[in-house]
Structure 1
Amino acid sequence: MICIIGVNEIATAAAITCFHSGQRVWLYSRNGDMPLRYQVTFAEAIHQDVKTVENVTASLLPPELLSEQSGTQAERLAAATRFLWQDRKLPLLYQIDFETAREALQPEVIIDTEPGDPVSRIDQAALVIGLHPGHRAGEHCHLSIAGELNYHLGRICLPGNELPSPAADKHFFNDPFAYCQTPLEGLWVALKSPGEEVRYQEALGKVNDIEIRSPYDGQIWGICHSGRFMPARSSVAQIYQGPASDAYRDLGFREKAIARAMLEAVLCYKQ
């Protein structure tokens, strides 16, 4: 059984890849953050109950099973998770303490994809996989997967085998994306949708009725959901600066490369 922490693009790609290989997978979201490219992630299941990406569906646990009076909380969590697996869906646990969920479901493998401080600890599963460089092998996890956009992408990092820091390694691919930030905090209302083309100084949305304009030409691949309170200097849109296409609908090569490396690590562990 595999627990994947996060509902971002990498977590979604890892969940789909592991699911197609026959693994039992459940997802855990710490804070319900909605990524900019929400349309290609399982994050929308937090607000819509279910979300399908690449013909794989993630679902929140059925509330009627969690509210049953019989059994302990751990037994109800396990029963609700099994119910969704039998329906060929990926269970998504949200607003549940991670340690409670972990003790109830006892995953063999934990894959932590969330940025910042790791949610998991190295002693919480037989195999804990993190994302380099934020998660250090041997300290936060047993191994980590290189996630930087360079020629190390997807490499499995073991303890004592760390990769060069991004500052020391100049061999990066060109990043075709630019990000638009809001200079002030407030309630965000989007005026554009993923896939739309945008021109320099065209309004992307509003914060407290003040227009936030694009500093770039390009195609919108990700944009914040309306109704979110945005801190100052936070990203509200991801803009692709290459030719417009339908590729915004799909997970990218970076996420898929990381996901395949994560599956490789899982399969090697299970041999």
Structure 2
Amino acid sequence: MIVVLIYGLNDLATACALRLYRSGFQPVLCAPSKKNDIHSLRNFSAVLTGGKKVIEEVEAMTIAYAQQFYELSDQSSDEKICKHVLEDRKICVINETEIKEINAIIRYFITADDVTDSISHVLSEFNGKFIMFSSDKSELHASYTISDDQDTLGKVLYPFLSIEEKNVRKNNDSENIYCVNAPIEGLFTADKLVNDIIIEKEIFGKINDIPILSPVSGKITGILRSGVLLEKKEAIIEIDQSKKNDGRIIPFRYF
């Protein structure tokens, strides 16, 4: 059993987990301390509120949910519960404090989200292979790096290759994507759903009962769920001005 720990629950982390799962690896997802994600409908971040989630017939569940689901005793260690989930061909989701409990079974560590100080400390003591993406600006030293830049997404970046040899692949989808950040902090209430069509200056939600208007027209490809406590400048909605993309499906470029 080759266990791969992926730090993150976003689109990139979810795509990594699904690809590795189908390749015969045993992915474990680690949830960052931040929990709000406008794409929770299509990725594994919703596991944090529901305890489990199924994407394309692949099921992920938290340690707490697994303990009840498999009727394991309260004395069961996190490592034992995690192994139970993996042996049942499911993806285990842990939090940052639970990493040390399963550190002994991890062979590879992939960071697919912003690394916190606690994760940096864990990585400094990690003896397996560490893989990071090019957007990671931390000073950690990875075994190798994978590009998550728009033009070379998914390419392994070897220092001895020239730019011409990286087979640059253009992707212009991001030019049509507009993301709105919260102007204030507070409680968010959504008035729209993923894949709804919205027009410019239409209300898509409220923060502390203050209406928030859309600055553009398009299709909603991501929006926070109602009841979320927001911080100022946190992403609350994503709008595809081309109206071509399906917000319920992770974009193919992440795979």
Q: Distance in 2 between matches of 1:252 and 1:26?
A: 21
Q: Distance in 2 between matches of 1:24 and 1:200?
A: 44
1:37 equivalent to 2:43? Answer no
1:69 equivalent to 2:75? Answer yes
- When residues 188 and 22 of structure 1 are mapped into structure 2, their CA distance, relative to the original with a 3 A threshold, is same
Once the 2 structures are TM-superposed, how far is the Cα of residue 182 of structure 1 from its aligned partner? 2.0
Q: Distance in 1 between matches of 2:40 and 2:127?
A: 29
Q: Distance in 2 between matches of 1:232 and 1:117?
A: 20
Once the 2 structures are TM-superposed, how far is the Cα of residue 129 of structure 1 from its aligned partner? 0.7
CA contact (8 A) 1:34 1:44 kept: no
1:110 equivalent to 2:109? Answer yes
Q: Which runs of 5+ in 1 are unaligned?
A: 71-75, 164-168, 257-271
1:153 equivalent to 2:153? Answer yes
Once the 2 structures are TM-superposed, how far is the Cα of residue 68 of structure 1 from its aligned partner? 2.3
- When residues 16 and 63 of structure 1 are mapped into structure 2, their CA distance, relative to the original with a 3 A threshold, is same
- When residues 107 and 36 of structure 1 are mapped into structure 2, their CA distance, relative to the original with a 3 A threshold, is same
Q: Deviations over 1:130-159 (max 9, x none)?
A: 1112256x8431111111112x22221246
CA contact (8 A) 2:78 2:98 kept: no
Query: Which stretch shows the higher mean deviation, 52-61 or 119-128?
Result: 119-128
CA contact (8 A) 1:144 1:157 kept: yes
CA contact (8 A) 2:134 2:145 kept: yes
Q: Which amino acid aligns with 2:60?
A: A
Root mean square deviation of aligned Cα: 2.7
CA contact (8 A) 1:142 1:159 kept: no
Q: Distance in 2 between matches of 1:134 and 1:13?
A: 17
2:172 corresponds in structure 1 to 173
- When residues 122 and 148 of structure 1 are mapped into structure 2, their CA distance, relative to the original with a 3 A threshold, is farther
Alignment of 1:85-96 (within 5 A): 85-94=86-95, 96=97
Identical columns (%): 23
1:239 corresponds in structure 2 to 239
2:212 corresponds in structure 1 to 212
TM-score, normalised to structure 2's length?
0.84
CA contact (8 A) 1:187 1:228 kept: yes
Q: Which runs of 5+ in 2 are unaligned?
A: none
CA contact (8 A) 1:197 1:244 kept: no
Q: Distance in 1 between matches of 2:124 and 2:12?
A: 20
Question: Secondary structure of 2:79's match?
Answer: helix
Once the 2 structures are TM-superposed, how far is the Cα of residue 63 of structure 1 from its aligned partner? 3.5
CA contact (8 A) 2:6 2:111 kept: yes
Q: How many residue pairs were aligned?
A: 241
- When residues 97 and 158 of structure 1 are mapped into structure 2, their CA distance, relative to the original with a 3 A threshold, is farther
1:55 equivalent to 2:73? Answer no
Once the 2 structures are TM-superposed, how far is the Cα of residue 89 of structure 1 from its aligned partner? 1.1
Q: Distance in 2 between matches of 1:240 and 1:102?
A: 40
2:8 corresponds in structure 1 to 6
Q: Which amino acid aligns with 1:209?
A: D
Once the 2 structures are TM-superposed, how far is the Cα of residue 44 of structure 1 from its aligned partner? 0.7
Q: Distance in 2 between matches of 1:115 and 1:154?
A: 18
Q: Distance in 2 between matches of 1:226 and 1:68?
A: 33
Q: Distance in 1 between matches of 2:143 and 2:21?
A: 22
Q: Distance in 2 between matches of 1:162 and 1:189?
A: 48
Q: Deviations over 1:55-90 (max 9, x none)?
A: 1110112244676236xxxxx122211221232211
